[in-house]
Amino acid sequence: EAQVTQNPRYLITVTGKKLTVTCSQNMNHEYMSWYRQDPGLGLRQIYYSMNVEVTDKGDVPEGYKVSRKEKRNFPLILESPSPNQTSLYFCASISGAGPSSTDTQYFGPGTRLTVL
Amino acid sequence: AQSVTQPDIHITVSEGASLELRCNYSYGATPYLFWYVQSPGQGLQLLLKYFSGDTLVQGIKGFEAEFKRSQSSFNLRKPSVHWSDAAEYFCAVGTPMEYGNKLVFGAGTILRVKS
């Protein structure tokens, strides 16, 4: 089954304690992204990656890092989390082959992060 | 840069009534347009998408959307709402230059269905 998985699904942590949210896709997709969802703001892109070792900032990258060492994995790293990073996080992937009825953006189930 | 506006934060409709959710975008050329639905506690599910061609797009769950270039709109419609349609709906825009890289989302519209 084609899917994007994220772990953990729920996380409560404290300010300053480094954490990593993993994201993995099984569709051999080139493109992967991280978004955060906040009430009244919709989803905003944090980082994206076009392929292995190719990443770039989205609209709200401050306080986050990413890496793409393997095609299937795209972890999101918060080196020193702060309360304003409390949010719902989504990983997404797409093949990028071109707009068509079959090239669809797949979203993971989300990770709800609370930073105290 | 592209942007998306969903003017209605909340909408309440009666079960069986018709539904229209509004979406306006800002982009200099023809964008790629999407509608997603998020049920409570769930992830995002794609309802439909527009890339080119026929401006009336059919999606899953009986939804459709119409691209109107003159109004920069991509409104979502359903002729008869079911209680299970209660959810949050997001309109999103992508561009040919950034295909695969980025979607810009609206703030969302929360749909409530009353019996």
B56-112 residue pLDDT tens: 999 999 999 999 999 999 999 999 999 999 999 999 999 887 877 889 999 999 999
Chain A residues within 8 A of B52 when measuring between CB atoms = 99
Please say if the pLDDT value at position A71 is more than 90: yes
Chain B residues within 8 A of A33 when measuring between CB atoms = 101-103
CB atoms within 10 A of CB B5: 14
The reported pLDDT for the residue numbered B1 is 82
Contact of A105 with A53, CB cutoff 8 Å = no
Give the CA distances from residue B81 to residues B34, B38, B61, B78, B90, in Å, rounded to whole numbers and listed in that order. 20, 16, 10, 6, 17
Query: Which amino acid makes up residue A100?
Result: S
Phi-psi region of B99 (alpha: psi -120 to 50; beta: other; left: phi over 0): beta
Give the CA distances from residue B56 to residues B51, B53, B73, in Å, rounded to whole numbers and listed in that order. 11, 9, 12
- d(CA B46, CA A26) in angstroms, rounded, equals 19
- Using CB atoms within 10 Å of the CB of residue A58, give its burial: 0 to 12 exposed, 13 to 18 middle, 19+ buried: buried
* Of the candidates B115, B111, B114, the residue with the CA atom closest to the CA atom of residue B20: B111
- d(CA A92, CA B99) in angstroms, rounded, equals 13
A107/B106 CB distance under 8 A: no
What 8-state DSSP symbol labels residue A28? -
Give the nearest partner residue to B102 out of A48, A98, A99, using CB atoms: A48
Nearest chain B Cα distance for residue A89, angstroms: 10
Which tokens sit at B44?
A: 């995002």
Cβ-Cβ pairs closer than 8 A, A with B, add up to 57
Give the nearest partner residue to B99 out of A99, A107, A109, using CB atoms: A99
- pLDDT tens digits along B46-58: 999 999 889 999 9
Nearest chain A Cα distance for residue B90, angstroms: 7
Give the nearest partner residue to A94 out of B51, B100, B104, using CB atoms: B100
Q: Residue range A89-116: average pLDDT?
A: 89
B32/A50 CB distance under 8 A: no
Give the nearest partner residue to B43 out of A31, A41, A110, using CB atoms: A110
A105/B43 CB distance under 8 A: no
The reported pLDDT for the residue numbered A63 is 97
